[in-house]
Amino acid sequence: MTWLTAFLERPPMSWWDIADILVVSFLIYEALKLIRGTRAVQMALGGGIVVGLFYLSRWIHLETVNFLIRNLVGAFVVAIIVLFQADIRRALAHLGRAPFFRYFAKPESAAESIEEIVVAAGMLAKGRIGAIVAIERQIGLGSYIEGGIRLDAVLTYDLLLSIFQPSSPLHDGAVIVRDDRVAAAACFLPLTVNPKLSKGLGSRHRAAIGLTEENDAVAIVVSEESGGLSLVVDGQLERGLDVDGLRTRLRALILQRRGQPPVTSAASERASGGGRWGWGPTAK
């Protein structure tokens, strides 16, 4: 009973102790989420067995076993780094995408993402391929992401073009962009019930209006009938945009500042082969 008495006589916990425990618990929870479903799970179980064996050897005085474990710990650490370098990179990247670090993201990253979307929208409009892309801002779109096909892929114009091809199983629905990544595809959005809208608007335009009426998202719509580009924000539809006009509006809405110098992106370079784009203003 000596250890129980010593435990009960510990000094009272302060708020800093509680905060310390909560932070450690959160880190352990996030680590378990990252390794779930990967080969690191078996490695974690093996590490737990080694730790348990270490304390067991100290308790029952297995000196040789304890000596071996103590001297092999350094080699185990190096082996883990070598074997699981891809998982470690993925974990650090996941940490860097945490909401806290969004405030430190470089504007160039958002500008590059805008350029990818603009290039994709221009090429889809030229081919008269219908599409709708919703960009998440302050209000989350998690409920719509859960209803679609989760991707969590790097945002590129190639990916957007592949998704909206008529032969693709993901083309029917919207793409949602979150934190410079394609969060999900084939997402179904709520249709607006505004009776004042023109009867000529299709389901894509009505879905974009319905989404932006409920939150602060920005939606880009490509008309399948005319190939026209439209932008929807706060339930207001802006039709007849060309590629340059779409870029200007997106930069003003997403970057929250005007007059920023244009960005020469990898998207425009890949799409044009190093020259100027091959399309002009799209039809209304």
Q: pLDDT tens-digit profile of 212-246?
A: 998 889 999 999 888 899 999 998 999 989 999 99
Nearest CA to 255 among 218, 229, 210? 218
Q: Are the C-beta atoms of residues 230 and 220 closer than 8 Å to each other?
A: yes
pLDDT confidence of residue 75: 77
* CA dihedral over 130, 203, 284, 270, signed as positive or negative: negative
pLDDT confidence of residue 250: 92
DSSP 104: G
Binned at pLDDT 50, 70 and 90, residue 44 comes out as confident
pLDDT confidence of residue 18: 85
Nearest CA to 263 among 136, 106, 146? 106
Binned at pLDDT 50, 70 and 90, residue 76 comes out as confident
pLDDT confidence of residue 53: 84
Whether 274 shows a pLDDT value over 60: the answer reads no
7 inside domain? no
Nearest CA to 255 among 244, 243, 247? 247
Structural domain boundaries enclosing 173 = 107-272
- Is the domain of 147 the same as that of 205? yes
- Is the domain of 43 the same as that of 19? yes
Q: Please tell me which residue, 244 or 197, carries the higher pLDDT value.
A: 244
Q: How many CA within 13 A on the CB side of residue 195?
A: 0
Whether 93 shows a pLDDT value over 80: the answer reads no
Which pair of tokens denotes residue 119?
């290039």
206 inside domain? yes
- Is the domain of 248 the same as that of 195? yes
Residue 281: how many other CB atoms lie within 10 Å: 15
Environment class of residue 106 by beta-carbon count within 10 Å: exposed (0-12), middle (13-18) or buried (19+)?
exposed
DSSP 103: G
- Is the domain of 127 the same as that of 265? yes
Q: How many CA within 13 A on the CB side of residue 96?
A: 9
- Is the domain of 141 the same as that of 259? yes
pLDDT confidence of residue 218: 94
Q: What average pLDDT does range 253-265 have in this prediction?
A: 54
- Is the domain of 49 the same as that of 166? no
Q: What average pLDDT does range 199-212 have in this prediction?
A: 89
By percentage, how much of the chain surpasses pLDDT 70? 74
- Is the domain of 133 the same as that of 181? yes
CA 255, CA 106: separation in Å to the nearest integer? Answer: 10
pLDDT confidence of residue 277: 31
The string of pLDDT tens digits covering residues 114-148 is 999 999 999 999 999 999 999 998 888 888 998 89
Buried-state track 120-158, b at ≥16 Cβ within 10 A, e below 16 = bbbbbbbeebbbbbbbbbeeebeebbeebeebeeebbbe
Q: Are the C-beta atoms of residues 219 and 136 closer than 8 Å to each other?
A: no
pLDDT confidence of residue 40: 66
Residue that finishes a domain, picked among 69, 96, 123: 96
Range with top average pLDDT, 61-75, 98-112, 209-223: 209-223
Does the global pTM surpass 0.75? no
Whether 261 shows a pLDDT value over 50: the answer reads no
- Is the domain of 241 the same as that of 201? yes
29 inside domain? yes
pLDDT confidence of residue 124: 94
The string of pLDDT tens digits covering residues 142-177 is 889 988 999 989 999 999 999 999 999 998 899 999
Mean pLDDT for all residues in the chain: 79
- Is the domain of 55 the same as that of 157? no
Q: Please tell me which residue, 145 or 90, carries the higher pLDDT value.
A: 145
CA 49, CA 253: separation in Å to the nearest integer? Answer: 53
Residue 49: how many other CB atoms lie within 10 Å: 10
- Is the domain of 45 the same as that of 118? no
